[in-house]
Chain A
Amino acid sequence: MTPMIDIVFQLIIFFLVCTEVASLDRVENLELPFATEAIPEEHKAGRLVISIDSKNQIWIGGRVRSLEEIERYLKIEKERDKSKADEKTSQPVLIQADKFSDWRNVQNVITIASKLQFWQLSFSAKKEQ
């Protein structure tokens, strides 16, 4: 019996650890829009994630931010690595917005990002089945 219990405990610990990792850096209850042409998400190092929920609040790193704070945050990120200046190497930015959030906020974020020369912008969407 003892080896079996060992394995079962291993499994429990595995699932406990997995759940914690998956819930990091995500805003709860975000319903993404559907898109048929969405390509599978790949992990990109150093990607900035900006989330916008259905109440039109903008989140970065688990906190609600104002547009001024976002501009400051992106500016700091930009200045940290000046080598990433041109179109190919600029830091990727992912916008995750709720499908019923206003276009206004997304537009503001895009405007700030393009003003600060972040060229690799993408939107997250759920792939339509």
Chain B
Amino acid sequence: MARKPKAFESAECALQMTPMIDIVFQLLIFFLVATKMRVPEGELEAFLPPDQGRPSVSDIDPIQINLRFTAPKGEPAVLFGKTDAGQAMTMIELRDKLKGIGSDPEMREKVPVIINADPSVPYKFVIQTLDYCKKAKFAKVNFAAAGQ
């Protein structure tokens, strides 16, 4: 039997793998880099009152936190009570004050907290306030209804 010519034999093996692998790796790296990994998100529970619109019947005076609009994207002025009594506070002072009140288990279990934010206050400060209330372990946190 005659042997096949040498040139033909080598042509069969000459399927060029290396450039193909190069390109495939390029593609792989491209997709690895281009894939935006989803940032893990957390959630904060909102406390909605089970009865809508009816004023609460408890005799305990709630702690009302008022977030007053100051400047677009700016930190709101924090005031307490229905009449905006006292000196305006910053968010950090609010955190410390809530921590102080919340250190009493009686207070944090029974006294409701109402967050009353101006409509133009950036959302992040409201969430921050809710976060501080959670951190101080207050059991009842509510949002004041619109137009109050």
Contacts and interface: CB of A to CB of B under 8 A. Distances in A.
B145 A111 contact: yes
Given A18-B35, A102-B123, A103-B119, A125 B41 contact: yes
B122 interface: yes
B40 interface: yes
Interface in A4-42: 4-5, 8-9, 11-12, 15-16, 18-19, 22, 32-41
A34 B119 CA distance: 20
Given A110-B48, A124-B42, A35 B127 contact: yes
A12 B43 contact: no
A84 interface: no
Contacts of B28: 8, 11-12, 15
A121 B41 contact: no
A101 interface: yes
| Interface size band for B | 35 or more
12 contacts: A5-B24, A12-B27, A35-B134, A38-B43, A41-B41, A99-B122, A100-B73, A102-B119, A102-B121, A103-B121, A114-B48, A121-B45
Interface of A: 1, 4-5, 8-9, 11-12, 15-16, 18-19, 22, 32-41, 52, 87, 94-95, 97-104, 106-108, 110-111, 113-115, 117, 119, 121-127
